[in-house]
Structure 1
């Protein structure tokens, strides 16, 4: 099993208004993939959608507080974007190359994950079998990101690393974890 911890950093031009910290862990055991985000800080300053009774696949989740990760197959331009809303909504997109050929990943029809929202901590955990989209032998390169929206309409963009002049989660050289 390959397991790693992570800590996200806000993009340099965005100011964290709530003294937040976003940490977590990621692992891959054969093709079972797990990721867990933990957000701590002044959570009453951020907008967190209430849990939905009917979580579903939705578009443009990144317009609100959203946890994301990207992974691509090593030595390939193809990659996937996973979006997870604290409300339980989700989506997965497949790309042929940098922001090219975006389409929903239809091999995944459900993406169940768990959200625990407490006054001092928000924890989001996902476990998924990757067999439907990649083979067990393929090495994946991963970028872990988050969009945090504040009650005052401010937004911060968080990632393991920011390699561009602007916050851009799609830059392949920011897929820095290997599983």
Structure 2
């Protein structure tokens, strides 16, 4: 198992989240992820429970994300603390978006007074090579911070190819 840290984009406002880490473990053609947000979690706008399954526009609120690069583009997974998820396939950065065949298990949420953790398993696309991890954190006041493994541009852009920095285990 590997643990990595996400950092907020320099242009993001201060966040009630102090640290955001992700535990990663590969199991054949699946990837287990556990996102752990620590800090003043009661100041984060956590989406309420919804019927588990595929849903769009999850990134418009607090959401955790994984980007899996392949030789033919990449697959984006949006994972909401609500229990909903989405997967999209792209041919190139923000080009050729369509629903992906790869699915995620409905995200499970747990926590304590100073942390919230969410875990899921993703189906990896054939030819998966690299991984980008990110998160959108919305505060109860409506401000957003954008967290990722790397921030290669002056504005938050999780689709930037240089943000897919992890070799898949």
- Given the two structures, how large is their TM-score scaled by the length of structure 2? 0.92
Q: 2:53, 2:106 within 8 Å by CA — same for their partners in 1?
A: no
**Residue 6 to residue 119, structure 1, CA distance change in 2 (3 Å):** same
Aligned length: 168
Aligned to 2:29: 31
Q: Does 1:62 align with 2:56?
A: no
Alpha-carbon deviation of 1:43? 0.7
Aligned to 1:151: 140
Q: 2:7, 2:150 within 8 Å by CA — same for their partners in 1?
A: yes
Alpha-carbon deviation of 1:77? 4.9
Q: Does 1:85 align with 2:74?
A: no
Unpaired runs of 5+ residues, structure 1, are: none
Distance 1:50 1:117 in 2: 14
Q: Does 1:42 align with 2:31?
A: no
**Residue 5 to residue 15, structure 1, CA distance change in 2 (3 Å):** same
Aligned to 1:17: 15
1:120 aligned to 105, 111, 114, which one? 114
Cα deviation per residue 1:7-41 (whole Å; 9 max; x = unaligned)? 01000011233152101211213222111100110
Q: 1:146, 1:157 within 8 Å by CA — same for their partners in 2?
A: yes
Q: What SS is found at the alignment partner of 1:173?
A: helix
Unpaired runs of 5+ residues, structure 2, are: none
State the Cα RMSD in Å. 1.6
- Given the two structures, how large is their TM-score scaled by the length of structure 1? 0.87
Q: What SS is found at the alignment partner of 1:44?
A: helix
Q: What SS is found at the alignment partner of 2:42?
A: helix
Distance 1:55 1:86 in 2: 10
Q: What SS is found at the alignment partner of 2:53?
A: coil
Q: Tell me which structure has the larger Cα radius of gyration.
A: 1
Greater strand content: 2
